[in-house]
């Protein structure tokens, strides 16, 4: 089993271009798995982990409700935002500057074959990272992602998650608000959940900005421990 993961930081990149790139990597891994099963080719499947920051964009998962987007095409244009209906799970979410987006594209057969466990470990990575900043983050029963003050009137989401998996290969991932402009969340019903707020790490810490490179390092450290993996760069 290959537990090496190729780490790529794509910087600031258009959502559709990144989605297409994810699909290419995903199809490459699936293609190798099909060859192995049909031809006993003995190919070692690859794993990838992409960091990216997107321009303002709203994405709607395959089970999502379009009415949770509160803007029409003209209003989207005025906000400088785009919209895509995509093939991950979950409802609607926002991506934009100041947000760390991570896309693990893994062959889970290199690790474990359990999608529920995969999502819980991604959440745990976020929870452990936020604990390093003195925040008690939690899961919210029945709601994927990571929250603060669960079970109180002040519950607020700090990290959204939505994944796709086929033949045990994953794509899409998580979006952690670090220095995000939270005003953009006012234009949607985030994840289709009414009456709950969204927050960002800098807001919680009372800082103008938080060092995003530092946050990424902490995320990767926890990911390697949780998944028993190691990262390589090109």
Query: Is 113 within any annotated ligand binding site?
Result: no
- Within 8 A by CB and 6+ apart from 36, the residues are 42, 43, 45
Q: Is 145 annotated as a binding residue?
A: no
Strand partners, 225: none
Q: Is 228 labelled a binding residue?
A: no
134 annotated to a ligand binding site: no
* Residue 125, annotated as binding a ligand: no
Lookup: tokens for 49: 């982990």
Residues 143, 192 contacting (CB under 8 angstroms)? no
Residue 126 near residue 176, CB atoms below 8 Å: yes
* Residue 92 among known ligand-binding residues: yes
Q: Is 164 annotated as a binding residue?
A: no
Annotated binding residue at 21?
no
Q: Which residues are catalytic?
A: 191
Torsion 166-172-63-159 (CA) sign: positive
Question: Per the annotation, does 160 bind a ligand?
Answer: yes
The CA–CA distances, whole Å, from 136 to 127, 148, 180, 204, 209 equal 7, 7, 19, 11, 20
Chain position carrying tokens 């799970």: 89
Nearest CA among 54, 103, 106, 107 for reference residue 82: 54
Q: Is there a binding annotation on residue 155? A: no
173 is in an annotated binding site: yes
98 has binding-site annotation: no
**φ, ψ for residue 179, nearest 5 deg:** -130, 40
Residue 73's Cα: distance from chain center in Å? Answer: 25
Which residues participate in the annotated binding site? 88-95, 160-162, 173-175
Which residues participate in the annotated binding site for substrate? 88-95, 160-162, 173-175
């Amino acid at each position: 089993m290959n537990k090496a993961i190729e780490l790529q930081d794509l910087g600031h990149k258009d959502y559709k271009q990144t989605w297409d790139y994810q699909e290419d990597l995903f199809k490459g891994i699936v293609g190798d798995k099909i060859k192995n099963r049909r031809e006993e080719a003995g190919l070692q499947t690859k794993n990838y982990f992409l960091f990216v920051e997107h321009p303002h964009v709203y994405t709607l998962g395959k089970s999502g409700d379009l009415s949770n987007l509160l803007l029409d095409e003209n209003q989207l244009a005025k906000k400088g935002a785009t919209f895509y209906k995509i093939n991950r799970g979950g409802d609607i979410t926002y991506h934009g500057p100041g947000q760390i987006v991570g896309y693990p594209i893994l062959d889970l057969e290199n690790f474990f074959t359990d999608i529920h466990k995969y999502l819980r470990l991604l959440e745990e990575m976020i929870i452990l990272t936020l604990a390093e900043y003195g925040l008690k983050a939690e899961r919210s029963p029945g709601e994927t992602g990571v929250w603060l003050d669960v079970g109180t009137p002040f519950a607020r989401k700090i990290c959204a998650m939505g994944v796709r998996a086929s033949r045990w290969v994953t794509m899409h991932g998580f979006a952690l608000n670090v220095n995000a402009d939270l005003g953009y969340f006012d234009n949607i019903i985030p994840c289709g959940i009414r009456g709950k707020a969204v927050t960002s790490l800098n807001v919680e810490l009372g800082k103008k900005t938080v060092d995003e490179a530092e946050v990424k390092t902490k995320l990767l450290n926890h990911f390697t421990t949780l998944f028993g993996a190691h990262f390589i760069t090109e």
